[in-house]
Structure 1
Amino acid sequence: MFDNFQLDRITVGEVPLRVRHGGSGPAVVLLHGHPRTHTTWYAVAPRLAAAGFTVVCPDLRGYGQSGKPPTDADHTPYSKRAMANDLVGLMDALGHATFSVVGHDRGSYVAYRTALDHPERVAKLVVIDGVPAVEALERTDAKFAAQWWHWWFFAQSEKPAERVICADPDAWYNAWTSNGPDALGPENHADFLAAIRDPATVHGMLEDYRAGLGIDRRTDEQDRAAGRQIRCPAMMLWSTRDDMEEIYGDPLEVWKPWCPQIVGHGIDSTHHVAENAPAELVKSLAEFL
C-alpha cells in the first residue's frame, strides 16, 4: 500500500498521530471514518498524488495507532474541535500553511470543524456521507433512530458499549463478511483488524460518538447562533447506496445554511466509498480540488 508514501508518528500537543504522506503540489488531508484507519484511503491517496497533490492521511485521535488521551465528563478530548486542532498542528509540522481537507463519515465532522475554526488555513472543504452534527440530531425521528441506533448505543456510559463490542469485535464489525479482505484489500483489512481488536481503540472510537452528542452539538449551536459560515469552496459527496438521500432528501439543502455555495453529487457506491468506488471518488476530488 501507499507506494512512495512516508509513514511517520508526529506528536501534536498531547497526542501522537500516525500519518502517511506523499506526493507534491497543493496539500490535501484525507480523514477516515468509523471504524477505519487512514489505510481506508489506500486506493485513493496514490491516485491523488499522481494527479499533482501532496496527500496527508492521519489516523484521527482515538483511532488506529494515534494517541488516545484520557477522557473527561464532557468527552472534550474527543471533540471535533480538539481533532481539528490536531490537524492544524500536524500540517504545521509538515510545513503546509494552507491545505484542503476531505472527511468521510466521522472524518467529515472534523473536516467542517477545521474549516469553521481555522478559515485562514483551509483552502477547500469536501465532506462525504455526513451533515453537521446539530442538523442530524435536530432531524432525529423514529426512522433515523432505527437506522442510526448505534449513535445512541455508542454514547452510553453507564452500560458501555465497549463490553459488547470487545467480546467479539470481528463479528460486530463484519470483519469476514461485508468488511472482509476481498472488500477492503488485504493490507487495509489487516490494519482494520488490528484497530477493532484493540480495546483502547474501541474506547477511543466510542468517545468520538459521545463527544458528538454533547460538546460537538453545543459547538455547532454556538456557531449557528453567531451566524458563522464556511466561506471556502465546499463540496459534498454522498454514496447513493447509503441512506443520505433517504433520510435527508437533497443533502445539499442541509448544508446550505452552513456553506451557501456548496456543490456536490452522489456517487454509485455503498457507504465506504474510498474502498468501493475509488476511481470515481478520485475523479470528483481531483476536479474540485
Structure 2
Amino acid sequence: MFEHFTRHTLNVNGIPIHFVQGGTGFPLLLLHGYPQTHVMWHKIAPSLAQKFTVIAPDLRGYGDSYKPKDAPDHSNYSKRVVAADLVNLMALLGKKEFYLIGHDRGARVAHRLTLDYPKKVKKLGLLDIIPTYDVFHLADQELSTVYYHWFFLIQPYPFPETLIGSNPHYYLEHCLKSWGRDFTAFTPEALAEYHRCFQDPMMIHGTCSDYRAAATIDLEHDQLERDKKIECPLLILWGKQGFLEKKYNVLELWQQRAINVTGKAINCGHFLAEESPVDTEQAIYGFLE
C-alpha cells in the first residue's frame, strides 16, 4: 500500500503525528474516519498523487499518531485542537494553502478546520456526513439505532473502552460490516492495519475521546458559530446505499452551512474510498480540477 509514498512522524502541536506523503503538485490533505486510519485512502491516494502532493495523517488518538489521555472537559480531543494539529503539520511541511478532503470523523475535523482557518483551505470535500450539530439535534429513534455508537462511545471512561477492549477484533469488523455494504472492499492488507492499530488500548481510548468531544465541547463551538458559513467551494459525497441517503436531504443541510455547495451520492455504503474508489476518485478529481 502507498507505493512511492514516504512515511514520517513530526512533533506537531505538542504531540507526534504520523503521516504518509507522496506525489507533486498543489497540496491535498486527506483525513480518515472511524474506526480507521490513513490507510483508508490507499486505493485512491496513489492516483491522486499523480497531480497533487498528497498528505494523509493519522489523527491524534488514531493509528500511529500520539494518543493522549482524555482531558476532563475533552478539550484535547476537540475538533478545534485536532484541526490545529493539521494546520501546524502543513505549515511544517511548507504548505500555506491546500485542498482538504475528509471522511467521517476526518470530515468533522475538516469542517472545523475550514471555519477556523478559511484562508488555508482552497477547496473542501466532505464524505458521508451531515453537520455534527444536526446529528444531535435531529436525532430520533431511527438515527439512534443506526448511530448507536455515537451514544455508546460518549459514555464515561472506562465503560466503552472496557467493553470494546474485551474483543476489539469482533467490534472493529462489526463496525465495518454494519456501516459498509461490501466487506470484501477492505483488502487483507488494510484490514490487518486496522486490526493492528485497534489492538492498542490507547487507540480505543482516543477514539472514544473523539466522540466525547463531539457531544460536548464541539457542540459548544458549533452553537457559537451556527451562522458562520464555509466560504470556499464545498463538495459533499455520500453513500447511496447508506443511512444519509435514506434519511436526509444531505445537500440542503450543507447549503445552510456553506456558500457554494455541490455533491452527489456514490453507489456504495459508508466507506466510499474503499467500497467505490473509482467513482469517489473521479468525483474528487472533477471537483479539485
Structure 2 length-normalised TM: 0.95
Q: CA deviation at 1:260?
A: 2.9
Q: CA deviation at 1:3?
A: 1.1
Q: Is the 8 A contact 2:13 2:84 kept in 1?
A: no
Q: 1:79-90, aligned counterparts within 5 Å?
A: 79-90=78-89
Q: CA deviation at 1:252?
A: 0.7
* CA distance in 2 between partners of 1:131 and 1:284 (Å): 18
> Which residue of structure 2 lines up, in the alignment, with residue 238 of structure 1?
238
1:187-217: CA deviations, max 9, x gaps? 2112101111111101001100000001111
> Which residue of structure 2 lines up, in the alignment, with residue 206 of structure 1?
208
AA in 1 matched with 2:102: G
1:42-99: CA deviations, max 9, x gaps? 011001012x111110000000110112221210111100110011011011111100
> Which residue of structure 1 lines up, in the alignment, with residue 169 of structure 2?
170
**SS of 2:191's equivalent?**
helix
Q: Is the 8 A contact 1:127 1:236 kept in 2?
A: yes
**SS of 1:173's equivalent?**
helix
- Pair 189,236 (structure 1): closer, same or farther in 2 beyond 3 Å: same
AA in 1 matched with 2:145: A
> Which residue of structure 1 lines up, in the alignment, with residue 62 of structure 2?
63
> Which residue of structure 1 lines up, in the alignment, with residue 20 of structure 2?
20
- Pair 74,184 (structure 1): closer, same or farther in 2 beyond 3 Å: same
- Pair 119,142 (structure 1): closer, same or farther in 2 beyond 3 Å: same
* CA distance in 1 between partners of 2:216 and 2:167 (Å): 28
AA in 2 matched with 1:203: H
> Which residue of structure 2 lines up, in the alignment, with residue 37 of structure 1?
37
- Pair 111,205 (structure 1): closer, same or farther in 2 beyond 3 Å: same
Q: Is the 8 A contact 2:69 2:206 kept in 1?
A: no
**SS of 1:282's equivalent?**
helix
1:96-140: CA deviations, max 9, x gaps? 110011110111100111100000101110001111111111101
> Which residue of structure 2 lines up, in the alignment, with residue 270 of structure 1?
269
* CA distance in 1 between partners of 2:254 and 2:35 (Å): 24
* CA distance in 2 between partners of 1:284 and 1:89 (Å): 28
AA in 1 matched with 2:222: D
* CA distance in 2 between partners of 1:130 and 1:177 (Å): 16
Q: Is the 8 A contact 1:14 1:69 kept in 2?
A: no
Q: Is the 8 A contact 2:19 2:56 kept in 1?
A: yes
Q: 1:152-191, aligned counterparts within 5 Å?
A: 152-157=151-156, 160-174=159-173, 178=177, 182-191=184-193
Q: Is the 8 A contact 1:195 1:202 kept in 2?
A: no
- Pair 75,176 (structure 1): closer, same or farther in 2 beyond 3 Å: closer
> Which residue of structure 1 lines up, in the alignment, with residue 130 of structure 2?
131
- Pair 5,221 (structure 1): closer, same or farther in 2 beyond 3 Å: same
Q: CA deviation at 1:182?
A: 4.3
* CA distance in 1 between partners of 2:250 and 2:92 (Å): 35
* CA distance in 1 between partners of 2:102 and 2:55 (Å): 12
AA in 2 matched with 1:24: T
Q: CA deviation at 1:175?
A: 7.0
* CA distance in 2 between partners of 1:27 and 1:221 (Å): 31
Give the aligned length: 285
Structure 1 length-normalised TM: 0.95
Q: CA deviation at 1:186?
A: 2.3
1:135-158: CA deviations, max 9, x gaps? 111101111111111111100006
**SS of 1:17's equivalent?**
strand
AA in 1 matched with 2:93: L
Q: Is the 8 A contact 1:30 1:55 kept in 2?
A: yes
1:155-191: CA deviations, max 9, x gaps? 0006620111110111111279849984321221121
State the superposition RMSD in angstroms: 1.7
* CA distance in 2 between partners of 1:181 and 1:202 (Å): 22
* CA distance in 1 between partners of 2:40 and 2:176 (Å): 17
> Which residue of structure 1 lines up, in the alignment, with residue 224 of structure 2?
222
* CA distance in 1 between partners of 2:142 and 2:165 (Å): 28
> Which residue of structure 1 lines up, in the alignment, with residue 3 of structure 2?
3
